Amino acid sequence: MNQLVLLSSDEETIAEVKTIAAVAQLPVRVMERLDESSITTCRLLLVDSSSDTAGNVDIEQLKACGTDIAVLTWSTPGPPHWNLASRISASTIVQLPNERNLLLGLLVNEPEVQATIVALVPLVPGSGASIFSGILSHHLGSAGFSTCLVDCDDQSSGLQLLAGIEKHPGTRWKDIVRSAGIKGNSVLTSLPSTDTFAVLSHTQEFTEVNIDTMCAVTRNLAADCEFVILDAGAQLLHSGHQLLNQADAICYITTNSIPAVATALKTRSRMRSVEQKHGLIVRQTPGCVLDPMTVAETLDMPLWSTFATSTRLVEQLEQGLGFNAINVAGITRATAHLAGHLIEQPHLHAV
């Protein structure tokens, strides 16, 4: 699947794309309407926004084949281009002729993913997934590994507050959505960061990010980082399998209270079969007597780590100290333990 397809009837656009494609030594198939063979063999589809052919896109078929899509325009991108890009799930808008280098970058093969991608998913609300993912990112960054923490929960803006970067300049999800996706260049370099890791977060302004954009951004970050930590909201259990499938390790988190384990068990019964790359982290809460190993056996998951709720932890977070300044023995040991295993064995089987 390596074909480049241009959907256009405009001679100037066709000539421009052919010239740039010649530099990348790629043949271009120019069409006004996609046919079955072009859909199954198309790696990159370029859609001319000024052409009548822009409406001739069967997005569901293209998504099923994993085709990347970019919108081409000769004018400054505006609402019509953003709407088109959103409708056809394009990851990039390219303005010609100013962004010829960007288009050339899209034509060559994507950089090889080098990062270990770790997703932390709460099985029940209040499990502490965001806290654990932030401290885990800090431990990995402190060990000298380039790390990015990604907030995949569009119902919450708390991660940037926990990280202490709410006033730092840089790209947030709303900026990526407003620009109709990533622009082909490194997302990592535009993100705000703590002393030890970069953060892609939401703001207090509600922003809905579709799963295709999340996947594209994760791949982009994984080409520049050694670890990408996904703070995944619970909604990804139902609608985010495409993103979770990119992860090398998925850490499901629950507390050890009886109601929480009962809820987690219901959630677990609706999940796909748990593969070897999946494991459980148990947050131990005061007054709850269920042993973490018992919780893991009940949920039929390998136990990867445990940590205890601490009033000191809550106090430090409320003081806005950021993940870097948190120093609570239980969760610090737990995240350091898991970080060590991720460094030694990125594709976890048992911790």
pLDDT digits (tens, 9 = 90+) for 9-39: 888 999 999 988 887 777 888 887 776 666 6
pLDDT of residue 254: 93
pLDDT of residue 213: 79
Low-confidence ranges of the chain (pLDDT < 50): 1, 64, 274, 348-351
* Residues recorded for the chain: 351
pLDDT of residue 130: 85
The H-or-E segment that residue 227 falls in is: strand 227-231
pLDDT of residue 296: 93
The whole-angstrom separation of Cα 216 and Cα 138 is 24
pLDDT digits (tens, 9 = 90+) for 141-157: 888 889 999 998 766 65
pLDDT of residue 326: 63
- Say what the pTM is: 0.67
Cis status of the peptide bond prior to 97, with omega within 30 of 0: yes
Contacts of 191 (CB under 8 A, 6+ apart): 148, 170, 171, 198, 199, 200
Domains of the chain in sequence order: 3-107 (3.40.50.2300), 116-344 (3.40.50.300)
pLDDT of residue 349: 40
Ranges assigned E (strand) in 74-208? 92-95, 116-122, 147-151, 198-200
pLDDT of residue 155: 64
